[in-house]
Amino acid sequence: MLFGLESLVNQLPVFIAGVTALIFSIGFHEFSHVAVAYSLGDTTGKNAGRLTLNPLKHLDPVGTLLILLGAFIGWGRPAPFNPQNLRYQRYGSAFVALGGPASNLLLFTIFSLVLRLVYPLFGPENLLTVFLQIFVIMNASLLLFNLVPLPPLDGSWLLLALLPRAADPLRELLSRYGWALLLAVIFLDFGLRVPIISPFLYGGVLFLTNLVGIVPYLGTI
């Protein structure tokens, strides 16, 4: 890797594009949680000023700092909602949780179509093309990662809603130790290269990009 001034200047637009894509994607993801909760009768998020498309309202200080440091990973402030206010008590929380991944699927689909239109016109070196490439891969990754059924990820709410009453001990275990389990999985998979969730993520991204026909337009980012 080159660390000269020319290399830094060349990488700066890509870095800015990546940070912009991640901030916007996370903001829309958290907004969607609040919007679904509001549609189901809960005004907690709206009252907290989170029913807005302004991504700055949805960013977490630590998650945002990691983004700005170039980690290309980050997280938003958890969307506040009161399950007791939701119209559907058993599955309401799962609907709110799935609003986030659904928003990433929507962004992935829309911007994949835009990439298919833009790429033939401007080619692979254009900054708009690079931004769209980053954006679609990022949203596919956010969609799939958030579906992993471990707290505090969105997929865990769906799992907890589907578990029978007899599985209450497992529900309690996941609720209490979900963060630690998720961190352990991430460390083992992406740190020690023990494949646990990465095959699901990489395979899922490949499946989605093939599904919308943008694999030829992705190149190397």
User: For residue 165, which phi and psi values (nearest 5 degrees)?
Assistant: -60, -30
d(CA 36, CA 47): 14
**Helix locations, 123-153, DSSP H:** 127-146
Cis peptide before 83 (omega within 30 of 0): no
Alpha helix stretches (DSSP H) within 40-194: 44-47, 61-68, 92-122, 127-146, 154-162, 168-186
Half-sphere exposure of 157 (CA within 13 A, CB side): 19
Query: Which residues, in sequence order, are CB contacts of 175 under 8 Å at separation 6+?
Result: 151, 160
Burial of 172 (0-12, 13-18, 19+ CB in 10 A): exposed
Cα angle for residues 211, 111, 221 (degrees, 5° grid): 85
d(CA 212, CA 175) in angstroms, rounded, equals 36
Catalytic one among 6, 30, 125, 172?
30
Give yes or no: 30 in active site: yes
Residues in the chain: 221
- Give the span between the Cα atoms of 121 and 42, in whole angstroms: 45
Active site residues: 30
